[in-house]
Homo-oligomer: A and B are copies of this chain.
Amino acid sequence: MDDVIARLRQFRDDRDWKQFHNPKDLSLALSIEAAELLEVFLWKNPEKANVDKVKEELADVFAYAFLLADSYGLDVRKIMLDKIELNEIKYPVNKAKGSAKKYTEL
C-alpha cells in the first residue's frame, strides 16, 4: 500500500492541509467517514446497499485510517497482527465459537 499512502500524502501536501491533520481531528474525520458508510445501509436490508457508494465511503475510511497511522509512523501490518494476538486471548475459540457476545460477557 506504500504507493497509495504516498498519493494520500501528496494530495494533502498539494493542498497544504497538514496544518489541519493533527491526530485528534484525523480521528474525527475517520468517525465521520465511518458514519457516511453506515448511511449507505440505513433503513435497508444489508444486501440492498449501493455498492458504488460503499466503495467510495469505505475508501474515505481507509484514507483517514492510513493518514492517522502515518502521522504516528505506525506499521499497519504490525499493529493489526499485534491486535489479532490480543483478540485471540480475549476471544478463545472454545468460548467464542458461534457466539456474538462481547468478550466481557463470555
Residues of A near any B CB (own CB < 8 A)? 1, 3-4, 7-8, 11, 14-17, 19-20, 22-25, 27-32, 34-47, 49, 51, 54-56, 58-63, 65, 68-69, 72, 74, 76-77, 79-84, 86-88, 91, 93, 96-100, 102
Residue among A23, A69, A77 facing the most chain B CB atoms (10 A cut-off):
A23
Copies per assembly: 4
Chain A interface mostly: helix
Q: How far is the CB of A26 from chain B (nearest CB, A)?
A: 9
Q: How far is the CB of A76 from chain B (nearest CB, A)?
A: 6
A93: which of B14, B51, B86, B98 is its contact (CB, 8 Å)?
B14
